[in-house]
């Protein structure tokens, strides 16, 4: 029997990552593009996706590919065809499935990127064997997904799992979704960079060493830079990551009250901070958990598939759709 390969495309706030994925979850070939700026037209994003798919097809026998899966950073409707709203992209009620199906000769599956990442962790990663799982993806913003008894729970309208837009601070910071106080404004990569940059621009001496490492340019600051500085022992970088972890734990306690999972899996780029992030998250989770001390606690672990989870999951969902 010939291999049943699938192509997965993960569309995030900063990059479009693609890969050819085999049935074991291994990525055979990769493609990467920068995500077009959100002010550009939807067709530009579609062009980027098609270019990535075409590049990947040049590395395999096209007859061995059975489907293409798209993990989109946004609200995907229950029809799994329309991106209703994407805070970091220009999509508003965008018929992405139909637009791509007209240009890609394989069956196309569209889903939320966090659903895709969660499915990857459930099939090939940290959530294997667990019946009730909440997956949190910490990147530019916060995505999330809920898996119960081997099924992704998408909700009545397909938009379940947008945990990053839970309000955790009434009248808090304005979010790109239009509301105030959303969780992702306090526990995401954007939040980490914003807080650090704000201290630099305010002239705080506690970030002087970090600023010097950037050559005095706060505009060069990135989340991975802060994580690397923390790994090398910078106390302010460690403190800033711990703050993000504390907010992460607060939000997860709210989710535990709602869903009672057995396991939280934390992925996305910010999870590279590992225990510097997860240890304070667990502490805050225990302090905020309703009924603490009298109920079983969900485990909190780091995702094992890293930044590949979205594209692997998108490919797996597409392959599953093909039977």
pLDDT tens sequence across 238-294: 999 999 999 999 999 999 999 999 999 999 889 999 999 999 999 999 999 999 989
Query: Strand pairing of 5-11 and 65-72?
Result: parallel
Question: Is 0.85 surpassed by the pTM of this model?
Answer: yes
What value does the mean pLDDT of the chain take? 93
CATH topology for 128-304?
Answer: Nucleotidyltransferase; domain 5 (3.30.420)
pLDDT of amino acid 140: 83
Stretch(es) of the chain classified as CATH 3.30.420.40: 5-120+308-321, 128-304
pLDDT of amino acid 14: 75
Coil, strand or helix at 163: helix
Backbone dihedral angles phi then psi of residue 78, each to the nearest 5 degrees? -60, -25
Rounded to 5°, the CA angle 17-123-65 comes to: 55
In this prediction, the residues of the chain whose per-residue pLDDT falls under 50 are 323
Q: Which of 259, 297, 258, 260 is nearest to 281 (CA)?
A: 297
Please tell me the distance from the alpha carbon of residue 92 to that of residue 84, in angstroms, as a whole number.
5
pLDDT digits (tens, 9 = 90+) for 211-246: 999 999 999 999 999 999 999 999 999 999 999 999
CATH class of the domain whose range is 5-120+308-321 = alpha beta
pLDDT of amino acid 17: 95
Please tell me the distance from the alpha carbon of residue 271 to that of residue 281, in angstroms, as a whole number.
11
pLDDT of amino acid 39: 55
């Amino acid at each position: 029997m010939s291999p049943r390969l699938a192509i997965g495309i993960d569309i995030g706030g900063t990059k479009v990552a693609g890969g050819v994925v085999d049935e074991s979850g291994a990525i055979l070939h990769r493609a990467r593009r920068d995500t077009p700026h959100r002010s550009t037209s939807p067709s530009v994003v579609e062009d980027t996706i098609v270019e990535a798919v075409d590049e990947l097809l040049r590395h395999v026998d096209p007859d061995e590919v059975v489907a293409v899966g798209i993990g989109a950073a946004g609200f995907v409707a229950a029809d799994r065809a329309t991106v209703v709203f994407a805070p970091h992209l220009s999509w508003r009620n965008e018929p992405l499935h139909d637009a791509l199906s007209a240009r890609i000769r394989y069956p196309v599956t569209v889903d939320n990127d966090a659903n895709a990442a969660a499915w990857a962790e459930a099939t090939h990663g940290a959530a294997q064997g667990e019946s009730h799982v909440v997956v949190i993806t910490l990147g530019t913003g916060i995505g999330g997904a809920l898996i119960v008894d081997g099924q992704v729970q998408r909700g009545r309208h397909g938009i379940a799992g947008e945990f990053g837009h839970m309000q955790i601070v009434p009248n808090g910071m304005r979010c790109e979704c239009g509301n105030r106080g959303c969780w992702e404004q306090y526990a995401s990569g954007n939040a980490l960079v914003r807080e650090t940059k704000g201290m630099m621009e305010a002239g705080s001496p506690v970030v002087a060493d970090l600023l010097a490492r950037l050559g005095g340019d706060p505009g060069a600051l990135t989340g991975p830079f802060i994580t690397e500085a923390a790994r090398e022992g910078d106390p302010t970088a460690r403190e800033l990551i711990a703050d993000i972890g504390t907010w992460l734990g607060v939000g997860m306690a709210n989710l535990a009250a709602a869903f009672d999972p057995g396991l939280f899996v934390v992925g996305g780029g910010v999870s590279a901070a590992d225990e510097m992030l997860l240890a304070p998250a667990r502490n805050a989770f225990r302090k905020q958990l309703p009924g603490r001390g009298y109920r079983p606690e969900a485990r909190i672990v780091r995702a094992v598939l890293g930044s590949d989870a979205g594209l692997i999951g998108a490919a797996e969902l597409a392959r599953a759709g093909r039977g």
